[in-house]
Structure 1
Amino acid sequence: MPESKISAKLTPADREAVMQAINTIKEKLPFLVDLTTEERKSLPKLGDKSRAFVSKALEMATQNPDFLPRSFDLDEMRRDVELFEALYPILLSLTQLHELVDDTSVAVGSEAYAAGLMVYNYAKASGKGAGLDSMVDDLGRRFARKSKKVQTEGSSV
């Protein structure tokens, strides 16, 4: 069997606790939005380079509110900046967690698939006459290729 990088078990109780923790996070962040791809593309992005710009703009507006139109909501800008800054470390932590869970899932899935391939190949090679033919054929369907149509529509043989 190939080298196993991961040998662990997630108990149903631990899985449920993790799912509950995720639900708790969602409950504590009831204002989260779900943007469409088009909405996401159309919005200006506040990244690392723009954070200082926004911070300085807020400071300028706070110290000199007289040049802003009356319709400009400085308190709303302040709330947006504060919420962004509060969410940023959460986003970093969740991104790291997502990468770890994704990498672990890929690795353990690969290990399971490699082991399954070994079982299939061993059964094909030495399972003849052991009553495994129908199971080997069933597993072999995973690798069956669909035949391409030789004849295109409107052409004749």
Structure 2
Amino acid sequence: MSTTSISATLAQTQRDAVFQAIATIKENLPFLVDLSADDRKALPKMGDKSRAFVSKALEVATQNPAFLPRSFDIDEMRKDVQLFEALYPLLLSLTQLQDLVDDTSLAVGSEAYAAALQVYNYAKVSGQGTGLDTMVEEMGQRFSRKNRKVKSQQVAP
């Protein structure tokens, strides 16, 4: 496990710029949909293995439209395939960016939590009688456990 020390800040102007960039992305992709968990489960998935199959099926449909029912819309299939192929590199890039943001957030959160633990431990040991008792007690509530079972013992008379 590597220990990465992150010493950085994120100015409000930088955050605003990132949020604006995200808004711009959403504006440029007005067709995005938000599927429910059930919808996601119900849909057939197209992954890397299926891409060649779909391309071959589009080629077959384009070159041999006579065997397809009249209601089958080859142009719509072509648009779907083209949109998928256009979105795929964006998905990869955004997934990589999300992974970097997740990892950085995890690492910097870990650093902040480790520092907080040090403060808590030092305050417990060295802060007695300096007016920190209430604060140490409040911080210690983070580690208190609630009894899962309340045992009621009745003594028979």
Range with greater deviation from structure 2 (140-149 or 62-71): 140-149
Shift of 1:111: 0.4
Task: State how 1:5-44 maps to structure 2 within 5 Å.
Answer: 5-44=5-44
Q: SS of the residue aligned with 1:80?
A: helix
Query: 1:128 aligns to what SS in structure 2?
Result: coil
Which blocks of at least 5 consecutive residues in structure 1 are unaligned? Answer: none
Q: Residues 75, 4 of structure 1: CA spacing in aligned structure 2 closer, same or farther, 3 A cutoff? A: closer
CA contact (8 A) 2:4 2:107 kept: no
RMSD: 1.4
Paired position in structure 2 for 1:88: 88
Which residue identity is paired with 2:117? Answer: L
Aligned to 1:131: 131
Q: Are residue 76 (structure 1) and residue 95 (structure 2) matched?
A: no
Aligned residues: 152
Quote how far apart the aligned CAs of 1:4 are. 5.8
Match of 1:98 in 2: 98
Give the Å deviation of 1:156: 5.5
Structure 1 counterpart of 2:151 = 150
Contact 2:127/2:133, CA 8 A, preserved across alignment: yes
**1:108-140: per-residue Cα shift (whole Å, max 9, x none)?**
000000000000000000111111111111111
Letter in 2 for 1:105: S
Q: State the secondary structure of the residue aligned to 1:98.
A: helix
- Give the percent of matched residue pairs that are identical in Structure 1 and Structure 2: 71
> TM-score under structure 2 normalisation?
0.92
Structure 1 residue aligned with 2:48: 48
- Deviating beyond 6 angstroms after TM superposition, the runs of 4 or more aligned structure 1 residues are none
By relative contact order (CA 8 Å, sep 6+), the higher-ranking structure is 1
